[in-house]
Structure 1
Amino acid sequence: MSRKKYSTKLFYKYYLEWIHLYKDQAIRPVTLKKYYLIQRQLKELAPRLHLNELTRQNYQKILNQYAQTHQKTTTLDFHHHLRASLLDAYDDGLISIDPSRRAIIKGMRPDQNITKFLNFQQVQSLLKVLYLANEINWDWFIYLIIKTGLRFAEALALTPADFNFEKNLIRINKSWNYKEKIGYFQPTKNPTSNRTIIIDEQLMNQFSKLISTKPIDQPIFFKKDCRVFNNSLNRHLANYCQKANIPKITIHGLRHTHASLLLYAGVSVASVAKRLGHANTTTTQTIYLHIIQELEEVDNAKILNHLRQLHS
């Protein structure tokens, strides 16, 4: 009986072919770019590893080496991308085992100096140090995300046409691909991210004046031929946090801040999920579990207090 021969193709070359076969023209360009980035990282980590040499041990070594310079959540994402291709390789008989089975995910500790969200008083302190000029600037961008909870790329893609000043509404139906040298409009993260949110009248009046002379179909915060960097705006925001004597936070953290303030104000999880453009309330509940649990404890106290008043 002849012994089965498994594929001797280099792991990183197989992964590249797998991307071409299953991902090219099937997913958004920004997501596809991530697959290619992981393929290049895999080539650096394991340039001579062949498929038939893959074991749980040397796959774990790849993950461990990657984890030395990345946080745990990023390492988990790296693992998920590779594992999808390895499961196909196993099903197709190219490898004898699934080397990614029961992999241990490690990673660098997150920056302890960065908080996930600010409380109401901290937001008030931040707002006091922003320079909200008579012309649109990046401080207005920060202010808008605090008030709306938009994703970074969604806020970049806003045009004057997205503002309904009569009804105090903002339409989110696109995002901006800021990761390319020449940026462009692209679809939102998922279909449920296409949404319309209500905004307070004061903010709408302010933006009505700020963007009145802007081209109707062009981004309001920058010119299309200008490059925008997330890290630059995070540093800009960090300087304001230091000036306001509050914990350092990122632009994405302002989105979490918006959601947490709404939850603490008693807004339902379903309404918060819809406003943030989450695909379902499970996502919202997972991200803000600690807040929801805290609010449940408050509600339980209210329930018990009410029940104590009911007696025969």
Structure 2
Amino acid sequence: MRISEEITPTNNYIVSSSEMARNRNIRSVLAIIFILKYKGDDVMWVEKTKAGNYKFVERYKDYMTGKEKKVSVTLEKNNASARKQAAEMLAGIIAERQTAPATPEEITLKKLVTEYLAYKERTVKLSTYRRDYYQCQAFLAMLGEDTLVNNLSASYIKNRFISSGEDNSRLNERRVRLMTLLNWGFENDYIRDVGWLRKFKPFPDDPHKVKIQDKYMEDYELDAVLNAMDHERWKLFTEFLVLSGLRIGEAVALNRDDIDYDNQCIHVTKTYDGNNKVITTPKSFCSIRDVYMQPELFQLCRKINIYIRKESIFLGYRSKLFFPNERGGCVNYNSYNKQLKKVTLEVLGRKLTAHSLRHTHASLLLASGVTIDAISRRLGHENSRVTRRIYLHITKKLKERDNDQIRDLKII
């Protein structure tokens, strides 16, 4: 094949057409490996692949190891637009790999809360996330979102908490949540040290056993409340909660199939989240349990089943739920609690909620001689220590009653 020679004047020398072709090839190769961008020690270059595409490569120094690493993206073209796109993509990849926690000196409470909530959103139930979200918003309002976390102190937080005007019971709850947040920040290298948290003591408050003292009913009080209920539906639901000890969310989420008449037990495997209006997993693993149906509860479940079937025919709804609302959906917490508070205030002079019925269930079992361990398993507590701590006042009351019976007894 003959290559024609073409004389082309170029400054002081003459170049043939074949030499020009060779020069063009050299320039193409040089263009492919030409450095397109400098960023400190980081550079980007282009390599042509066997498939005819272009691999854009950039070198960077890993902040964790101090070693040099490379990243690349492959595009179909190698023009100005492609090079710009590749540079942006590589910068994003490097930034993602190089992302490190903000240095302890610069982390603000708002930044810490943002990172914490992002973590919680991925790892906990929606109901738990919502609780933590609103607690964190309260922290931002009380302590200041621009406050540097590493400048916090026990005295500063205590004074800000007190100035909020909230009662000590609420402040102690916030204290626990805030300590959880700060400990998480320490564990994830956002905070240098949290040893000072030991100086952030609880606010003076009535112990738990005293606070729930008026949040359960004696047997005669329960009878009075049930007799005062003129709404058959709510009366049946109240009896069910008292006899089963279920949390209201667990009771609302029950399907008819969960009531196992053959084995005389109730299968508790889920709960209803009233805030988010979804049926979800129970409070804890221990909450998944089978609750024995004693004869009184067994007969009540049959009674409720008949009542709901008649009501569904009359009102024209279908539902798989064991105790649905009058449209076949989940019972509304607020509607039931409103009725219960109204009746208990009229009859007992104090307002009780659905959770009070769970306390009542436990106290009646204790008074009947059922062991703490058995009650713990029935209630779905993680261990009997939780049950013992909550109902300590009841066990003391029973001991006092026993002592009164023995005091005047003459054995010899």
Query: Could you tell me how far 1:94 is from its partner in structure 2?
Result: 3.2
Contact preservation (8 Å) 1:154, 1:188: yes
Contact preservation (8 Å) 2:186, 2:192: yes
Unmatched tracts of structure 1, length 5 or more: none
Inter-CA distance 90–203: structure 2 relative to 1 (3 Å threshold)? closer
Inter-CA distance 62–233: structure 2 relative to 1 (3 Å threshold)? farther
CA distance in 1, matches of 2:263, 2:104: 64
CA distance in 2, matches of 1:71, 1:152: 27
CA distance in 1, matches of 2:106, 2:328: 47
Q: Which moved further from structure 2: 298-307 or 39-48?
A: 298-307
Query: Could you tell me how far 1:149 is from its partner in structure 2?
Result: 1.4
Tell me the secondary structure at the aligned position of residue 267 of structure 2. strand
CA RMSD of aligned residues (A): 3.3
1:192 and 2:275 aligned: no
Query: Could you tell me how far 1:305 is from its partner in structure 2?
Result: 9.3
> Comparing both structures, which one devotes a greater share of its residues to strand?
2
1:12 and 2:110 aligned: yes
CA distance in 2, matches of 1:277, 1:307: 42
1:163 alignment partner in structure 2: 259
Query: Could you tell me how far 1:40 is from its partner in structure 2?
Result: 1.3
Query: Could you tell me how far 1:90 is from its partner in structure 2?
Result: 4.4
Residue of 329, 332, 352 corresponding to 1:228: 332
Inter-CA distance 225–189: structure 2 relative to 1 (3 Å threshold)? same
Contact preservation (8 Å) 2:228, 2:347: yes
Q: After superposition, where does 1:232-243 map in structure 2 within 5 Å?
A: 232-243=335-346
Inter-CA distance 117–32: structure 2 relative to 1 (3 Å threshold)? same
Q: After superposition, where does 1:120-159 map in structure 2 within 5 Å?
A: 120-131=219-230, 133=232, 137-159=233-255
2:355 alignment partner in structure 1: 252
Query: Could you tell me how far 1:97 is from its partner in structure 2?
Result: 5.3
Unmatched tracts of structure 2, length 5 or more: 1-102, 313-317
Q: Which moved further from structure 2: 55-64 or 292-301?
A: 292-301
Inter-CA distance 212–227: structure 2 relative to 1 (3 Å threshold)? closer
TM-score by length of 1: 0.81
Q: After superposition, where does 1:1-312 map in structure 2 within 5 Å?
A: 6-21=104-119, 23-45=120-142, 46-66=144-164, 68-72=165-169, 74-90=170-186, 92=189, 94-95=191-192, 98-106=195-203, 115-131=214-230, 133=232, 137-180=233-276, 183-197=277-291, 198-199=293-294, 200=296, 201-212=298-309, 215=318, 217-218=320-321, 220-222=323-325, 223=327, 228-230=332-334, 232-298=335-401
CA distance in 2, matches of 1:7, 1:303: 66
Query: Could you tell me how far 1:41 is from its partner in structure 2?
Result: 1.3
Query: Could you tell me how far 1:35 is from its partner in structure 2?
Result: 1.5
Greater length-normalized contact order (CA 8 Å, ≥ 6 residues apart) = 1
Tell me the secondary structure at the aligned position of residue 124 of structure 2. coil
Query: Could you tell me how far 1:287 is from its partner in structure 2?
Result: 0.4
Tell me the secondary structure at the aligned position of residue 237 of structure 2. helix
TM-score by length of 2: 0.63
Query: Could you tell me how far 1:250 is from its partner in structure 2?
Result: 1.6
CA offsets per residue over residues 188-243 of structure 1, 9 Å max, x none? 1111111222142431231231233665633623257678243x432311221234
Query: Could you tell me how far 1:262 is from its partner in structure 2?
Result: 0.9
CA distance in 2, matches of 1:164, 1:226: 20
CA distance in 2, matches of 1:287, 1:124: 24
